[in-house]
């Protein structure tokens, strides 16, 4: 499930302007090589994080998914879930709970691995899905918690990659099928291609006008 095409194009433009989306040669977690990389850790200012939270919040509200709380998997999901909770409150008038995990469980203080309040229907907020490994770890983590279940996942970028070469569906489609939940994305790889195509067409037109 993707956001509307104008939202997706706006998000691609925003990510490029922040240099969060970069081109080059990148080695992915899955061992694959990619000509582009989306690094959510590079939304490093209050303004960028505010806008990012708003993109997520709009995509969530547009999807109609029903949930009771947000969950941001450590580490990158933590500021994302916080930014989304703020945007949902400020722009959509809903005061939703949010929680996140520690990578190492604490034995003192409030203890445990989860910080914040988990409620029955959990919406996972993550950055990117490539092969789907990270999101499966979050699903396992939530499955181990009492009285909660994941009702959906939201990511900024769906890379539309397959789990493995010989599998026909994308990693996201496989996650949706395996867990019977929707995966919402603000933008997909195809939105990036459309954006690049439009930019190239613009440059070609300009070049023709000048020669």
Q: How far is the CB of 127 from ligand OMP (least distance, A)?
A: 5
Helix axes 133-143, 171-179, angle to 10 degrees: 20
Residue whose C-beta lies closest to ligand OMP = 130
108 as an active site residue: the answer is: yes
Tell me how far apart the alpha carbons of residues 175 and 149 are, in angstroms, rounded to a whole number. 15
Nearer to ligand OMP, 87 or 131 (CB): 131
**Catalytic-labelled residue, pool 108, 146, 168, 208:** 108
Q: Please list the residues that pair with 101 across neighbouring strands.
A: 114
Nearer to ligand OMP, 133 or 204 (CB): 133
**Catalytic-labelled residue, pool 29, 90, 92, 106:** 106
Q: How far is the CB of 7 from ligand OMP (least distance, A)?
A: 19
Q: How far is the CB of 37 from ligand OMP (least distance, A)?
A: 4
Nearer to ligand OMP, 14 or 91 (CB): 14
Cα 162 versus chain centre, distance: 17
| Contact present, 58 and 51 (Cβ < 8 Å) | no
Rg of the chain in Å (alpha carbons): 18
Measured from the Cβ of residue 90, the count of other Cβ atoms closer than 10 Å reads: 13
Nearer to ligand OMP, 66 or 165 (CB): 165
| Contact present, 53 and 87 (Cβ < 8 Å) | yes
Residues that bind ligand OMP (CB under 6 A): 28-30, 37-39, 127-134, 171
Q: Which residues are catalytic?
A: 106, 108
């Amino acid at each position: 499930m993707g956001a509307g095409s104008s939202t997706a194009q706006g998000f691609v433009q925003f990510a490029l302007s922040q240099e969060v989306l970069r081109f080059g040669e990148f080695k992915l977690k899955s061992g694959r090589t990619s000509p582009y990389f989306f690094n959510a850790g590079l939304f490093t200012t209050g303004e960028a994080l505010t806008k990012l939270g708003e993109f997520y919040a709009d995509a969530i509200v547009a999807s109609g998914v029903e949930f009771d709380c947000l969950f941001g998997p450590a580490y990158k999901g933590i500021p994302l879930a916080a930014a989304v909770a703020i945007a949902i409150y400020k722009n959509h008038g809903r005061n939703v709970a949010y929680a996140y995990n520690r990578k190492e469980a604490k034995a003192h203080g409030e203890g445990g691995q989860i910080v914040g309040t988990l409620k029955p229907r959990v919406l996972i907020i993550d950055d990117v899905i490539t092969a789907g490994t990270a999101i499966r770890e979050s699903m396992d983590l939530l499955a181990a918690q009492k009285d909660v279940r994941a009702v959906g996942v939201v990511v900024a970028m769906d890379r539309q990659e397959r789990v493995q070469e010989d599998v026909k569906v994308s990693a996201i489609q496989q996650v949706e099928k395996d867990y019977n939940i929707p995966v919402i994305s603000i933008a997909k790889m195809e939105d990036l291609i459309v954006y690049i195509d439009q930019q190239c067409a613009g440059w070609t037109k300009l070049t023709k006008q000048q020669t």
